[in-house]
Amino acid sequence: MTYQQTLDYLFAQLPMYQRIGKAAYKANLDNTWWLMEQLNAPHKKFKSIHVAGTNGKGSTSHLLASIFQEAGFKTGLYTSPHLVDFRERIRVNGEMISEQSVIAFTQNYKDTFANQGLSFFEWTVGLAFDHFAKENVDIAIVEVGLGGRLDSTNVILPELSIITNIGYDHVQFLGNTLDKIAAEKAGIIKESIPVIIGKTQDETVTVFQSIANDKKAEIIFADQQEFDVIPSSPLLGNYQEENFKTVLTACKKLQHLGFKLTSSNIQKGFQNVLKNTQLKGRWDIVQSDPRIICDVGHNKEGLIQNIRQLQSTTQGDLHFLLGFVNDKEIGEIIDLFPENAFYHLTQASVPRALPANELENYFFNKKASFKKYTDVADALANSVPQLKKNDTLYVGGSTFIVADFYNALL
């Protein structure tokens, strides 16, 4: 199999939540436990930090990985979804897993795993943990895919658990209230393992405290901690301030647990996060004059902060290149966007994308100025020439719109 044939096999034959949605969701960890047994328990062969939350878990994971790299630890990083290349999901010291490793793993286990009916995400968790074990990583930062309690990553016994915040996302799986969603995220809290909570929220604080108490796990709320200095970072979204405090709180606890992370390591980890981990899609200013920004924020809480920052920093006209997935409360999300902007509407190249024709109907009702395009590349090619020097074009609404945007730039 070539690398492309391997990806085609993984994407086409196995359920992939990010692409098709609900049909790929599994309500237990039976397959993952079976998978770990087949792979000789790789999840027990490295130390780990487990990161869950509605928003910010990707940035938090990358920052922690960068800090550990600066401290000289051989560091694994597992995140999802990817933007351009599947291999972005699995990194060691910032280097993506090799194409040959992906091919070899798939060939070795193709028949066995197919008979078990593993999902795409279960496949990738197995691949990641096997890779980290073979690479003898000192620590792996493992980002939850969806939820926590029933996520395939939730077979590890980490040194520290982190839950960034709770918002309304994936409510069809996790529940339609913040306390229900929090209970699912809190499923990563393990017996006697400390947990960092990024944001104190009235609806969720008692849920976390109750579960942590039951597990005899120390609980620390990052936004209640004081810091003399927040290190500088190239992550420019205003929403990152919350993630920065979460990471600093985590580092302080990790130091108490015996990890040698110096102030210099932390400072350089913040400063070099893009270089060390190749993080993309977080308030990424890809062009100035006119300014083009892309961001993977895709739910109400994330978009509120991004729109607020856009409105406070844009000097000229504001343009949005937008698309969404089909399982969001689109009406509520569309209401967040200002009327005095121009909208370039499209759809991402995944089956889960909301068709542009349907998105168009929402903007008819909003009475905003807009134009519809067949895909992101078409929207990009036609929107940029319309921009004046001081204008801003924001690309987002869905992780997959941002992914298609990066691919259009290649």
Over residues 209-226, mean pLDDT: 97
Side chain identity, residue 54: T
Task: Inform me whether the pLDDT recorded for 173 exceeds 70.
Answer: no
For residue 234, what are the contacts with CB-CB under 8 A and spacing of at least 6?
271, 273, 274
**Mean predicted lDDT score pLDDT of the chain:** 93
Over residues 160-170, mean pLDDT: 86
pLDDT at 9: 87
pLDDT at 28: 81
The dihedrals phi and psi of 353, each to the nearest 5 degrees, come to: -65, 140
pLDDT at 20: 45
Provide the 10 A C-beta neighbour count for residue 271.
16
Q: Angle at CA 409, nearest 5°, toward 97 and 7?
A: 35
Least confident of 24-33, 130-139, 208-217, 328-337: 24-33
pLDDT at 16: 52
CA dist., res. 405 & res. 403, Å (int): 5
Smallest CA-to-CA distance from 162 within 245, 251, 255, 50 is with 50
Q: Where does the pLDDT of residue 382 fall: very low under 50, low under 70, confident under 90, or very high at 90 and above?
A: very high
Q: How far is CA 25 from CA 21, 55, 186, 365, in A?
A: 7, 20, 18, 33
pLDDT at 160: 98
Cβ burial, residue 45 (10 Å; 0-12/13-18/19+): middle
The two tokens of residue 153 are 């990553």
pLDDT tens-digit series, residues 55-99: 999 999 999 999 999 999 999 999 999 999 999 999 999 999 999
Provide the 10 A C-beta neighbour count for residue 38.
14
pLDDT tens-digit series, residues 100-122: 999 999 999 998 888 888 888 99
CA dist., res. 14 & res. 37, Å (int): 20
Residue listed under structure tokens 């060939």: 107
pLDDT at 24: 46
324 touches 298 (CB < 8 A): yes
CA dist., res. 250 & res. 48, Å (int): 13
pLDDT at 14: 52
Task: Inform me whether the pLDDT recorded for 248 exceeds 50.
Answer: yes
pLDDT at 175: 62
150 touches 29 (CB < 8 A): yes
Task: Inform me whether the pLDDT recorded for 368 exceeds 80.
Answer: yes
pLDDT tens-digit series, residues 6-32: 998 888 655 555 444 444 445 689 999
CA dist., res. 311 & res. 180, Å (int): 33
CA dist., res. 48 & res. 138, Å (int): 8
| Domains of the chain and CATH, by start | 3-277 (3.40.1190.10), 284-409 (3.90.190.20)
For residue 98, give the DSSP letter.
P
Residue listed under structure tokens 């606890």: 253
Cβ burial, residue 124 (10 Å; 0-12/13-18/19+): buried
